[in-house]
C-alpha cells in the first residue's frame, strides 16, 4: 500500500527530521520590513529554539503581527533573512514549509459552513500522501480534546461564538503537528479559563520539543508562561529575555506610554504587571 | 459571547462524545454516495426521456434498442425517420445539454470556491456576458478562421479576460466582499451589454436573428459538429476541476491560512480561473447565456451534503447536467409545438430561487458581509 502511494505521489517532499531540543527552529537576522511609507520592522534579530515558548509583546502597531508574518514566511522582508529549520524560508516550497511551521491567524474566518471537525482536519492536509498520514485521526481527536471543542465537532463553524471559533482555529493549528507554532493573539477572544488553557497547551508543545512563538497582549500571561519575552517598540526589539528580567516598570511604562507597577506574586514569584491607576 | 456556563466549567468536556465526532464524516460520505447515485439515475432517466419525447415520439424501448444496435450489442435499427430523428436531432441535443449543464454547474462551484463567496456565478458576475461578447463578435464580424471552433475560441478569450478583470477589480486584501463582487458584476454586465449592442448595430439582419436567438439561450441548433466544437473545452475543464477540490476546501480558510497549509495559492488561482473560463466559454459558445444554473445547483448540494468540494465539484457537474437536460426537455415540450428559450426558462425559475436565497441568508446570518 505504501509503495503504491509513493508511486502516485506527484512530488516527493522532504519530511522534517526530529530536532534536538535547543536547536534553532526559526531565526530572523537583521529583518527590516516596509509597508507603504512606514518602517514596520527595523533590523530585528530573533531566534526561537526547539523546546521554548517565546512571547512577543508590545503596544498596538509595534510590529508584533508583522514580525510573526515574516517568521511565517508570509511576506518578503526588505532586508535581512528568515531561516526555518536551518534553511532560508524562501528555499522551501509551500508544501514543505507547511510540514515545518503552523500559523494561527489573528481572526478565524471561513467562507463556507464546514463542520468543526472538518475544519480541524484541514490542519492535516500537509501530511496527505506521507507516512505520517496515518496519524490523522489521532492528531485531530487529540487537538480537539486539548482545546475542548470535541463537544461541538459536528456543528458548523459559522454557528460558533467568537471564542469557540478561536479555539477551533487553534485545534486546526495543533493538528498540523509542525515543529514550529506561530500564534497571533490566540487568547484575544477567550475567557479566563480558556486563556490559561491555551498557554498551558503552548507549554506542553514546548515540553514535547516544539518551538512556540506567540503574540500576547496580556503581559501577565506572558510573564507566567513564556521562557523568553521580546518587547517590541516601534519596529525594534526593545528588550529580549526571560520575563522576570525584561518586564520592568521603567521599560514597560516607556514602551506602552502608561505607567505600570511590576511586583512579584506573593506565592509563585511570577511578575505581576498592573497599570498605575488614580483613585 | 454566547458561551454557556456548562462549557466554561468544562465538566461536560469529559463526557464520551468521541462517537459523535467519528460519525460525522461517515454519515456525510454515505449522503454523498446516495446523492451521486440518485443524481446519476435521474440524469440517465432524463436523457432517455429527452431522447424519446418530442414532436415525433419514439418509444423508450426503441431508443434503447437503437442505441444497443449502434454500439453493437444486439438491438435493431429503427425506421428511417425514427433513426434520423433520434441520432441527428435528439441525441446531439441531449449531449449538448449534458455538456453545457455540467460545465455551468461545475464552473459555479469552482467560482464560489475561488472567490470564497457563495454568490459567485458566471451569469451573476458577468463572466457569461463577457464570453458572449466574444461569441457575438465572432458571429457579427463573420469570422471563421478557427472553423467550427471560432465561436468557442472567441468566447473563451473574452471569458478569460472577463474573469481576470472581475477577479482583480473585486478583490482587496485577499478577500472578495459580496457587495463589491455584485457591483463589479453589474458594471461588467452593463459594459458587455453595450458591446453586444454595438455588434448588433453593425450586424446585418440574418446575423441579428442568429445573435438574438443565441442570446436567449437555446439548444435548438444542436448538431454533432457543435457538440464536437465544445467537447474539448468542456471535457478539459471537467476533468481538471476535481483535482483541486481538496485545495479549494483549504482556500475557504483564507489565502494566508491556505498557504500555511501548503497550498500554492497563486498557482491554484491561475489554474482555476483558466478552468472557469474554459467551462463558461464552452457553455456560452453553443447555448448563449443560461444563468442561475451555476448558482442554484451548488447551493442545493451544499445544503444537502455540506460544503466539502470533493463531492461538490463533481456533484455540481452532475446536477447541472440534470437541470439542463430536464430544463431543455421542458422547454421543448411545455409550449409544443413552439419552443421556449432555455435561458428564459432557467432565469424564470432561477431568479425566485436567488431571491429566496437572499432572504434566507438575511434571516440566518444577517446578510452577507
Per-residue pLDDT of chain A (279 residues; tens, 9 = 90+): 445 554 455 556 778 887 778 889 999 999 999 988 888 999 999 999 999 999 999 999 899 999 999 999 988 888 999 999 989 998 998 999 999 999 999 888 888 889 999 999 999 999 988 888 888 999 999 999 999 999 989 998 988 988 999 999 999 999 999 999 999 999 988 999 999 999 999 999 999 999 999 999 999 999 999 999 999 999 999 999 999 899 998 999 999 999 999 989 999 888 899 999 877
Count how many Cα atoms sit within 13 Å of the Cα of residue A110 in the half-sphere of its side chain. 25
Rg (CA), chain A: 19
Q: How far apart are CA A244 and CA B210, in angstroms?
A: 81
Grid-cell match 507554532, residue found: A181
**Chain A hits for B8, Cβ within 8 Å:** 191, 193
For residue A44, what are the β-bridge partners? A31
Residue B307 phi, psi (nearest 5): -90, 5
Calpha distance A110→A124 (Å, rounded): 17
pLDDT: is A142 or B287 the higher one?
Answer: A142
What is the pLDDT, as a whole number, of residue A178? 93
Cβ within 8 Å of residue B140, ≥6 positions away: B199, B200, B202, B203, B207, B211
- Do B257 and A95 count as a contact with CB atoms less than 8 A apart? no
pLDDT at B369: 47
- Among A10-24, A188-202, B114-128, B269-283, whose mean pLDDT is lowest? A10-24
| pLDDT value of position B109 | 94
Q: With a cut of 50, say whether residue B18 has pLDDT above it.
A: no
Sign of CA dihedral B236, B237, B239, B243: positive
Cβ of A37: how many Cβ atoms within 10 Å?
5
Lowest-pLDDT range, A135-139, B11-15, B174-178, B280-284?
A: B11-15
> With b meaning 16 or more CB within 10 Å and e meaning fewer, what string describes B201-214?
eebeeebeeebeeb
Per-residue pLDDT of B311-345, as tens digits, reads: 999 999 999 999 999 999 998 888 877 888 888 88
- Out of A97, A101, A125, name the one closest to residue B250 (CB): A125
pLDDT the model gives residue B298: 92
Structure confidence at residue B2 (pLDDT): 40
Residue B13 — very low, low, confident or very high, per pLDDT cuts 50/70/90? Answer: very low
From A162's Cα to the closest Cα of chain B, the distance in A is: 7
- In contact, B105 and B323? CB cutoff 8 Å: yes
Query: Cα A33 vs. chain centroid, distance in angstroms?
Result: 20
- The whole-number average pLDDT for the span B5-29 is 44
pLDDT at residue B6, as a whole number: 39
Maximum CA pair distance of chain B? 80
pLDDT at B366: 53
Residues B78 and B58 sit within 8 Å (Cβ to Cβ):
yes
Mutate to test the interface with A, among B10, B115, B253 (most CBs of A within 10 A): B253
In degrees rounded to 5, what are phi and psi of residue A273? Answer: -115, 120
| Dihedral pair phi/psi, residue B170, rounded to 5° | -95, 0
H-assigned helices in chain B: 5-9, 18-52, 60-70, 80-84, 91-115, 127-140, 150-170, 178-202, 205-216, 224-240, 245-251, 255-260, 265-287, 293-305, 309-333, 342-365
Q: How far is A126 from chain B (nearest CA, A)?
A: 6
Cross-chain residue pair A122–B263, CB shorter than 8 Å: no
Higher pLDDT, B51 or A167: A167
Instruction: Check pLDDT > 80 for residue B9.
Output: no
Would the CB atoms of B306 and A113 count as touching at under 8 Å?
yes
B147 vs A221: which has the higher pLDDT = A221
| pLDDT confidence bin for B175, thresholds 50/70/90 | low
Using a CB-CB cut-off of 8 Å, the residues of chain A touching B302 are 112
Comparing A199-208, B158-167, B231-240, which segment has the lowest mean pLDDT? B158-167
* Contacting residues of B for A176, CB less than 8 Å apart: 261
Cis peptide leading into B170, omega within 30 of 0? no
What pairing do the DSSP bridges indicate for beta strands A180-184 and A79-84? unpaired
Which parts of A17-126 fold into alpha helices (H)?
64-71, 94-98, 116-122
User: Residue B8 has what pLDDT?
Assistant: 38
Radius of gyration of chain B (CA): 22
Give me the pLDDT at residue B355, please. 84
Q: Measure CB to CB from residue B260 to each of A103, A110, A128 and give the nearest one.
A: A103
Instruction: With CB atoms and an 8 Å threshold, state whether B260 touches A101.
Output: yes
ipTM rounded to 2 decimals: 0.89
The residues, any chain, with a CB within 8 Å of residue B325's CB and separated by 6 or more, are B43, B46, B47, B50, B94, B97, B98, B101
Q: Which residue of A has its CA nearest to B24?
A: A154
CB contact under 8 A, B24 and A101: no
- Cα separation, A204 vs B333, in Å, equals 69
Q: Which of B305, B335, B270, B347 is nearest to B26 (CA)?
A: B305
Going A71 to A73 to A77 to A82, the CA torsion angle's sign is: positive
Mutation site for B-interface testing, chosen from A106, A109, A111 by largest number of B Cβ within 10 Å: A111
- B3/A102 touch (CB, cutoff 8 Å), yes or no: no
Amino acid at each position: 500500500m505504501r509503495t503504491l502511494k509513493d508511486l502516485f505521489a506527484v512530488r516527493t517532499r522532504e519530511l522534517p527530521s526530529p530536532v534536538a531540543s535547543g536547536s534553532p527552529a526559526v531565526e530572523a537576522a537583521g529583518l527590516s520590513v516596509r509597508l507603504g511609507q512606514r518602517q514596520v520592522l527595523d533590523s530585528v534579530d530573533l531566534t526561537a529554539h526547539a523546546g521554548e515558548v517565546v512571547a512577543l509583546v508590545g503596544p498596538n502597531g509595534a510590529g508584533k503581527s508583522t514580525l510573526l508574518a515574516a517568521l511565517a514566511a508570509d511576506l518578503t522582508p526588505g532586508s535581512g533573512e528568515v531561516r526555518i529549520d536551518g534553511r532560508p524560508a524562501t528555499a522551501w516550497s509551500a508544501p514543505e514549509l507547511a510540514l515545518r511551521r503552523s500559523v494561527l491567524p489573528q481572526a478565524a474566518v471561513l467562507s463556507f459552513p464546514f463542520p468543526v471537525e472538518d475544519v480541524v482536519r484541514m490542519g492535516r492536509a500537509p501530511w496527505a500522501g506521507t507516512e505520517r498520514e496515518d496519524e490523522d485521526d489521532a492528531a485531530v481527536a487529540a487537538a480537539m480534546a486539548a482545546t475542548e471543542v470535541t463537544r461541538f465537532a459536528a456543528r458548523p463553524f459559522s454557528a460558533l461564538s467568537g471564542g469557540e471559533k478561536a479555539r477551533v482555529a487553534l485545534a486546526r493549528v495543533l493538528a498540523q503537528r509542525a515543529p514550529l507554532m506561530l500564534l497571533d493573539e490566540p487568547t484575544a477572544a477567550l475567557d479566563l479559563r480558556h486563556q490559561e488553557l491555551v498557554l498551558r497547551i503552548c507549554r506542553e508543545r514546548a515540553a514535547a520539543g516544539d518551538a512556540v512563538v506567540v503574540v500576547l497582549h496580556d503581559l501577565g500571561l506572558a510573564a507566567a508562561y513564556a521562557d523568553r519575552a521580546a518587547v517590541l517598540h516601534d519596529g525594534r526589539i526593545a528588550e529580549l529575555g526571560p520575563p522576570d528580567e525584561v518586564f520592568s516598570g521603567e521599560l514597560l511604562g516607556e514602551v506602552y506610554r502608561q505607567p505600570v507597577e511590576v511586583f512579584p506574586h506573593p506565592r509563585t514569584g511570577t511578575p505581576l504587571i498592573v497599570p498605575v491607576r488614580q483613585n | 459571547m454566547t458561551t454557556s456556563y456548562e462549557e466554561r466549567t468544562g465538566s461536560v468536556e469529559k463526557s464520551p462524545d468521541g462517537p459523535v465526532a467519528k460519525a460525522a464524516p461517515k454519515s456525510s460520505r454515505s449522503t454523498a454516495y446516495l446523492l451521486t447515485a440518485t443524481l446519476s439515475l435521474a440524469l440517465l432517466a432524463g436523457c432517455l426521456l429527452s431522447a424519446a419525447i418530442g414532436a415525433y415520439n419514439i418509444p423508450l424501448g426503441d431508443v434503447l434498442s437503437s442505441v444497443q444496435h449502434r454500439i453493437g450489442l444486439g438491438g435493431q435499427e429503427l425506421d428511417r425517420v425514427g433513426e434520423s430523428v433520434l441520432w441527428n436531432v435528439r441525441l446531439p441535443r441531449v449531449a449538448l445539454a449534458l455538456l453545457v449543464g455540467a460545465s455551468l454547474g461545475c464552473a459555479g462551484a469552482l467560482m464560489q470556491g475561488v472567490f470564497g463567496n457563495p454568490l459567485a456565478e458566471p451569469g451573476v458576475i458577468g463572466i457569461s456576458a463577457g464570453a458572449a461578447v466574444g461569441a457575438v463578435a465572432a458571429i457579427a464580424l463573420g469570422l471563421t478562421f478557427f472553423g467550427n471552433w471560432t465561436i468557442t475560441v472567441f468566447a473563451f478569450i473574452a471569458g478569460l479576460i472577463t474573469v481576470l478583470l472581475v477577479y482583480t477589480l473585486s478583490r482587496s486584501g485577499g478577500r472578495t466582499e459580496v457587495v463589491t463582487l455584485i457591483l463589479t458584476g453589474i458594471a461588467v454586465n452593463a459594459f458587455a451589454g453595450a458591446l453586444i449592442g454595438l455588434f448588433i448595430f453593425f450586424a446585418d439582419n440574418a446575423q441579428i436573428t442568429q445573435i438574438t436567438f443565441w442570446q436567449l439561450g437555446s439548444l435548438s441548433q444542436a448538431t454533432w459538429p457543435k457538440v464536437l466544437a465544445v467537447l474539448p473545452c468542456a471535457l478539459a475543464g471537467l476533468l481538471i476541476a476535481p483535482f483541486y477540490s481538496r485545495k479549494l476546501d483549504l482556500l475557504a480558510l483564507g489565502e494566508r491560512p491556505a498557504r500555511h497549509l501548503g497550498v500554492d495559492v497563486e498557482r491554484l488561482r491561475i489554474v482555476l480561473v483558466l478552468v472557469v473560463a474554459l467551462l463558461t466559454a464552452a457553455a456560452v459558445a453553443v447555448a448563449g447565456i443560461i444563468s442561475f444554473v451555476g448558482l442554484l445547483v451548488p447551493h442545493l448540494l451544499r445544503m444537502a451534503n455540506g460544503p466539502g468540494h470533493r463531492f461538490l465539484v463533481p456533484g455540481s457537474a452532475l446536477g447541472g447536467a440534470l437541470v439542463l437536460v430536464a430544463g431543455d426537455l421542458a422547454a421543448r415540450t411545455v409550449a409544443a409545438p413552439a419552443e421556449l428559450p432555455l435561458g428564459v426558462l432557467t432565469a424564470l425559475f432561477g431568479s425566485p430561487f436567488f431571491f429566496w436565497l437572499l432572504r434566507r441568508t438575511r434571516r440566518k446570518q444577517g446578510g452577507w458581509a
